Amino acid sequence: MADGGVTRAHPAPMLLILSFRWLTVGWTAVVALLSGQVLEQRVALAVLTLGAMLGWTAWLTVAAVRRTDRVLAVDLLLAILVLLVSGWIGPQGQLLTDHPTFAGAYPMAAIAAWATVHGVRGGVFAGVAVALCLPVSYYLNGSSLFDAGFLDQLSLVGSALAYVVLGGAVGIATSQFERVSLRLAEGRAVVAGLRERERIAAHIHDDVLQRLGQIRKLGGDLADRGNVTRAELRGLMADVGRQEASLRRLVLAEQDSTPAGARSLVEAIAEVAGGYHQWPVRLVDSGHISVPAEVATELAAAVNELLGNVVKHASAEHVWISVLDDGAVITVDVRDDGVGFEYHESDLTASGRLGLSVSVRARLERLGGSVTIRSRPGRGTEVRLELRSGP
């Protein structure tokens, strides 16, 4: 429940106690102002005590204070002080009557806070501490425990036991609440794990297994036909490599947890590359690279545009993609062995070929990255996308 004097409990019980505390402060103010249960000559002390209660409660609320042992000790001391002041400022014998008292239920909030943080032992400790001060409050109110009658003594013992029982009951209830909260959290984790397993199974079935079935059929057709060309064999092996990479990424995804709102950049680009079967796409990566989901989407879209250009203009036989992260910069290279060209952005814009400037360069600039294009006729093309890594 507590570690190093700082609570790590669920916040809900403490929020309920804070609400109860405000109600008790309000009730104390009503008693002080309207009930006539405060002696005129001691009104100043009542106002001072009420101000301390109000200020302390406001500080606990506004500062969202974590209940350290020091805070709990001050809270308990204030509750005892309010109890003693209640006996001192009220009419003589007031505590033995059915009239409302200045302290009211305020000490119960401090006892409940101890029980919430330190469990049954903490609640009982605080309850006993307040109970032991109750006879002193009676004495200050002019009612000696030894001179009181049996029923009055029984009433005092019952009030004292009520504080102790309250501490124990709240401690038990808080422990049960924490246990239920933990079970719910564990249940949510199990459900999330099952959903992730279902997602992986669906991915394997819908993507890997179906594609492997197609590869097996294509391999059988090639074997039956005979006289297989190198290009056909390379294409078949490239398909096998893509499925191998897909399975490897699934394994890495289980080992490397991706934060909420993030996505694996390698996985996003591999999905795009997997949609092109015109030539073998060889993907090289440095492992799991987690980036914000929108960044992965933008970079994958830029790679998709580049691969589309290769299909339309390059007449390439091979395409290579590398996705690397050196800790400072994420680099995505898309290279082909196609016909190449003389790169002049103004000429491409004038001819209406806006893909590189609009779909690629503009995307990277929005992300704060850069694009470098290297190409020569007959030497293929390499486009490098660079983006700063990390925050």
Give residue 41's pLDDT. Answer: 64
For residue 221, being part of any structural domain is answered with: no
Q: Do residues 176 and 286 both lie within one domain?
A: no
Domain that holds residue 163: 2-186
Nearest to 79 by CA among 45, 127, 14, 36: 127
Is the same domain home to 160 and 282? no
Question: 117 forms bridges with which residues in the sheet?
Answer: none
Task: Give the pLDDT confidence score for residue 383 in this predicted structure.
Answer: 92
Token match 């036991």: residue? 161
- The model's pLDDT over 155-177, given as tens digits with 9 standing for 90+, comes to 777 888 888 998 899 889 888 87
Number of domains in the chain: 2
Q: Could you tell me if 159 and 27 lie in one domain? A: yes
Give residue 332's pLDDT.
93
Q: Last residue of some domain: 162, 186, 210? A: 186
Angle between helices 43-62 and 69-89 (to 10 degrees): 160
Q: Is residue 215 part of a domain?
A: no
Cβ-based neighbour number of residue 169 at 10 Å? 16
Same domain, 168 and 294: no
Among residues 141, 168, 186, which one ends one of the domains? 186
Instruction: Indicate the burial class of 247 (C-beta count within 10 angstroms; 0-12, 13-18, 19 or more).
Output: middle
* 168 within domain boundaries: yes
**Last-in-domain residue among 170, 186, 202:** 186
Looking at the structure, tell me whether residues 56 and 151 fall in a common domain.
yes
Task: Express each pLDDT in 208-258 by its tens digit.
Answer: 666 677 777 877 877 777 777 777 777 777 777 766 666 766 665 544 555
What is the Cβ-side half-sphere exposure of residue 137, based on CA atoms within 13 angstroms? 28
In a domain, 87, yes or no: yes
Whether 208 is in a domain gets the answer no
Q: Is residue 108 part of a domain?
A: yes
How far separated are the first and last CA of the chain, in Å rounded? 35
Same domain, 363 and 280: yes
Q: Are residues 283 and 177 in the same domain?
A: no
pLDDT tens, per residue, the chain with 391 residues: 444 333 344 456 777 888 888 888 888 788 777 666 666 667 788 888 888 989 998 888 876 556 678 888 998 999 999 888 887 787 676 666 666 677 778 898 889 889 888 889 999 999 999 999 888 887 787 776 666 666 766 777 788 888 899 889 988 988 887 777 677 767 776 776 677 677 666 666 656 666 677 777 877 877 777 777 777 777 777 777 766 666 766 665 544 555 557 888 988 898 888 888 777 788 888 777 889 989 999 999 899 889 988 888 888 888 889 999 888 899 999 999 889 887 766 555 555 455 566 678 888 888 999 988 888 888 889 999 999 886 5
Chain length of the chain: 391
Q: What is the pLDDT of residue 330?
A: 93
Domain for residue 311, yes or no? yes
> How far is 249 from 90, CA to CA, in rounded Å?
75
Do residue 274 and residue 182 come from a single domain?
no
Q: In sequence order, what are the beta bridge partners of 35?
A: none
> Do residue 154 and residue 298 come from a single domain?
no
DSSP state of 179: H
Which DSSP letter does residue 91 get? Answer: P
Are residues 372 and 272 part of one domain?
A: yes
Which amino acid is residue 284, in one-letter code? V
Q: Which amino acid is at 316?
A: A
pTM for the full predicted model: 0.46
Return all residues near 219 (Cβ < 8 A) that are at least 6 apart. 236
Q: Reading across the β-sheet that carries 281-285, which strands appear in turn?
A: 281-285, 319-325, 329-336, 381-388, 370-375
Q: Are residues 130 and 269 in the same domain?
A: no
Q: What is the DSSP string of 307-376?
A: HHHIIIII--S-EEEEEEE-SSEEEEEEEE-S------HHHHHHTT--IIIIIIIHHHHHTT-EEEEEE-
Pair (267, 152) in one structural domain? no
Here the CATH number for the domain that contains residue 310 is 3.30.565.10
Residue 249 inside a domain? The answer is no
